[in-house]
Amino acid sequence: MADAKNKTTLDSLKKHRKRLTDRPMRQLFAENPDRFRSFSANCGDIILDYSKNRIDTEAMAALIDLARHAGVEARRDAMWAGEPINVTEGRSVLHMALRYGGEEPVLVDGQDVMPGIREVLERIKTFSDQVRDGSIKGHTGEQFTDIVNIGIGGSDLGPAMVTLALEPYTRADLRAHYVSNVDGASMHDTLKRLDPKRTMFIVASKTFTTDETMTNANSARQWLAEALGDEAVNDHFAAVSTNLEACDAFGIRADRVFGFWDWVGGRYSVWSAIGLPVAIAVGYENFAMFLKGAATMDNHFRTTPLEKNLPVIMAVLGVWYRNEWGFATHAVLPYDQRLSRFPAYLQQQDMESNGKSVTLEGKQVETETGPIIWGEPGTNGQHAFYQLIHQGTSVIPCDFLIAAQPQESMPPHHDKLVANCFAQSEALMLGKTKDEVVAELKEAGMDKADIKALAPHKVFPGNRPSNTLLYRKLDPATLGQLIALYEHKVFVQGVIWNINSFDQWGVELGKQLAKALLPNVQGATNGAEHDSSTQGLLAYYHQMKG
């Protein structure tokens, strides 16, 4: 946590936790019929119901104080002012500028970044319009029907998740595919259904050095050149990167290269030209609405008092559970099949940002930091892992996400989806006591001995926390809002933990070692320089591969 000035707040949080340990939510709801009104807030059409948490007014006030004392407002303003808050890389953090859309200048090192942003957006618009209307064609004069985005991490998860979420806005005759893994299976299985004459590749990489992406890009180029000849490659490739020289060296023509800037972190880049495949898939107007939705949430985050500020509320609740109650994981459970990749997207968003153990000053942190984020859409998860959420020994705070309006008229599907979503948070909160179980079994006519044996298995402890995010419809603007909401939540938590949420040094060691191991894997050497486990695995690998 930030420093000693938080000490009083932290001590008070401990007291609140002790007090609330003996007051389950069931009791808190019974005592306060207005609980929903007291503990819900909104940003436009998104309502956050956070009443099913282990809080009361005093605890919530202490949590908001924690955010205030940690300097969340000052740091948020420093981010927007273009200060280099990513201290270990000496960079500003200005993904909010990408979707700002306003008239005021946004400065980095005294330079307004807005003209550059507008120029790239204009190019995305022109290019995506032309691919969609067929005026940009493949080498043989055929219209493009398939766009393959080659990228990984932030250059894949964002656009892939968004394209899936906005499926109702896509066209059946223009499909976006995403290849990220260096596992050749991914590229192979994607290409086997595609016609090179009608396929465009977008190589998306902030650095344009990421090994997986470059390996996949080279394989795609080879596939295309084998089918259509080397001279066709130029007409079938585009690139998105901050490394324009590397795009040129790869052979991608300048008018097909879309730039962005080092103040856009990879996991915040879906708002930049990394969103190009989204703009092609759903059309520029929808992409613009997506940006606008995020800007609505940015404005909410920047101007709403902390007590009513959605990202702040979600952030402090997360800190409450992680640090005071010791809950290690957090589940994101969209009751929205099209958000099936949202948990995976948030894994990078949250875990790459806040999976840190040193403070901004380089000292070991004294509390736990980022939680493990995981999840799957409901209702599928209900028939798989919810058992553990309801009756397991670990308490897992959950976020439920649900739209009021479905995209398709298929009664009674959506009513059932909503009923299930609301039922889960109610069940988690209420639980079922032993008395209730016994009464139910008696009612069903079971004899005393059987009741005695079965009852303990049917008890639900309850008091299990959740948030529900209810939104009107999963349209582009709402999706933009939701993503920005989580981005800011993660930001606030990083400020409270006093860590740098914008670097990712933890991914480097594995990359270095993979590079060092490749010659051992490719040759038949035993890799004597490695540990005995790695040597043993290499030896078996060479023996098995034959």
| Residue positions annotated with a catalytic role | 352, 383, 511
Label the pairing between strands 46-49 and 466-471: antiparallel
Segment interacting with ligand F6P, rule: CB under 6 A, options 42-50, 84-92, 132-140, 199-207: 199-207
Q: Which of 221, 224, 226, 227 is nearest to 239 (CA)?
A: 221
- Is residue 91 near ligand F6P by the rule CB under 6 A? no
Binding mask 36-55 for ligand F6P (x = CB under 6 A): --------------------
Residues in the chain: 546
- Is residue 215 near ligand F6P by the rule CB under 6 A? no
Contacts of 357 (CB under 8 A, 6+ apart): 364, 365, 369
Q: With CB under 6 A, what is the number of residues at the site for ligand F6P?
A: 14
Residue closer to ligand F6P by CB (options 265, 283) is 265
Tokens 């990220």 found at: 180
Q: Which of 198, 158, 160, 206 is nearest to 179 (CA)?
A: 160
Where are the alpha helices (H) located in 229-374, listed in sequence order?
233-236, 244-250, 276-282, 284-303, 310-319, 342-346, 353-354
Tokens 């596992």 found at: 183
- Is residue 500 near ligand F6P by the rule CB under 6 A? no
- Is residue 159 near ligand F6P by the rule CB under 6 A? no
Distance, CA of 481 to CA of 478 (rounded, Å): 5
Side-chain-side CA neighbours of 502 within 13 Å: the count stands at 25
- Is residue 277 near ligand F6P by the rule CB under 6 A? no
What DSSP element (H or E) covers 48?
strand 46-49
Q: Which one of residues 152, 176, 270, 417 is an interface residue with ligand F6P (CB under 6 A)?
A: 152
Tokens 């066209």 found at: 171
Label the pairing between strands 329-335 and 372-374: parallel
* φ, ψ for residue 304, nearest 5 deg: -85, 135
Residue closer to ligand F6P by CB (options 241, 468) is 241
- Is residue 206 near ligand F6P by the rule CB under 6 A? yes
SS3 call for 398 = strand
Residue closer to ligand F6P by CB (options 345, 497) is 345
- Is residue 71 near ligand F6P by the rule CB under 6 A? no
C-alpha pair distances (Å), 58 with each of 23, 62, 452, 465:
13, 6, 40, 17
Least distance from ligand F6P to the Cβ atom of residue 124, Å? 17
Burial class (CB in 10 A: 0-12, 13-18, 19+), 299: middle
- Is residue 370 near ligand F6P by the rule CB under 6 A? no
Report angle CA 90, 92, 93 to the nearest 5 degrees. Answer: 130
Residue closer to ligand F6P by CB (options 153, 293) is 153
Q: What is the DSSP string of 208-225?
A: S--HHHHHHHHHHHHHHH
Segment interacting with ligand F6P, rule: CB under 6 A, options 115-123, 206-214, 323-331, 374-382: 206-214
- Is residue 267 near ligand F6P by the rule CB under 6 A? yes
Segment interacting with ligand F6P, rule: CB under 6 A, options 149-157, 337-345, 384-392, 517-525: 149-157
- Is residue 205 near ligand F6P by the rule CB under 6 A? yes
Segment interacting with ligand F6P, rule: CB under 6 A, options 128-136, 203-211, 457-465, 494-502: 203-211
- Is residue 153 near ligand F6P by the rule CB under 6 A? yes
Segment interacting with ligand F6P, rule: CB under 6 A, options 110-118, 150-158, 165-173, 532-540: 150-158
- Is residue 69 near ligand F6P by the rule CB under 6 A? no
Least distance from ligand F6P to the Cβ atom of residue 208, Å? 7
Residue closer to ligand F6P by CB (options 149, 205) is 205
Instruction: Label each residue of 291-327 as H, E or C.
Output: HHHHHHHHHHHHHCCHHHCHHHHHHHHHHHHHHHCCC
Segment interacting with ligand F6P, rule: CB under 6 A, options 88-96, 200-208, 288-296, 452-460: 200-208
Q: Which one of residues 74, 328, 419, 507 is an interface residue with ligand F6P (CB under 6 A)?
A: 507
Distance, CA of 461 to CA of 456 (rounded, Å): 11
Least distance from ligand F6P to the Cβ atom of residue 91, Å? 13
- Is residue 213 near ligand F6P by the rule CB under 6 A? yes
- Is residue 180 near ligand F6P by the rule CB under 6 A? no
Least distance from ligand F6P to the Cβ atom of residue 261, Å? 13
Where are the alpha helices (H) located in 71-210, listed in sequence order?
72-80, 95-98, 114-133, 157-165, 184-191
Q: Which one of residues 86, 92, 149, 155 is an interface residue with ligand F6P (CB under 6 A)?
A: 155
Residue closer to ligand F6P by CB (options 384, 507) is 507
- Is residue 518 near ligand F6P by the rule CB under 6 A? no
Residue closer to ligand F6P by CB (options 481, 504) is 504
Asked if residue 259 lies in contact with residue 448, where contact means CB atoms within 8 angstroms, the answer is: no
Q: Which one of residues 12, 42, 130, 207 is an interface residue with ligand F6P (CB under 6 A)?
A: 207
Residue closer to ligand F6P by CB (options 351, 538) is 351
- Is residue 9 near ligand F6P by the rule CB under 6 A? no
Least distance from ligand F6P to the Cβ atom of residue 502, Å? 10
Contacts of 345 (CB under 8 A, 6+ apart): 157, 158, 161, 483
CA Rg value for the chain: 26
The residues in 334-353 that bind ligand F6P, with binding defined as CB under 6 A, are 352
Residue closer to ligand F6P by CB (options 6, 349) is 349
Residue closer to ligand F6P by CB (options 177, 267) is 267
Region class of 491: left (phi > 0), else alpha (psi between -120 and 50), else beta: alpha
Which residues sit at the interface with ligand F6P, rule CB under 6 A?
152-155, 205-207, 210, 213, 266-267, 352, 504, 507
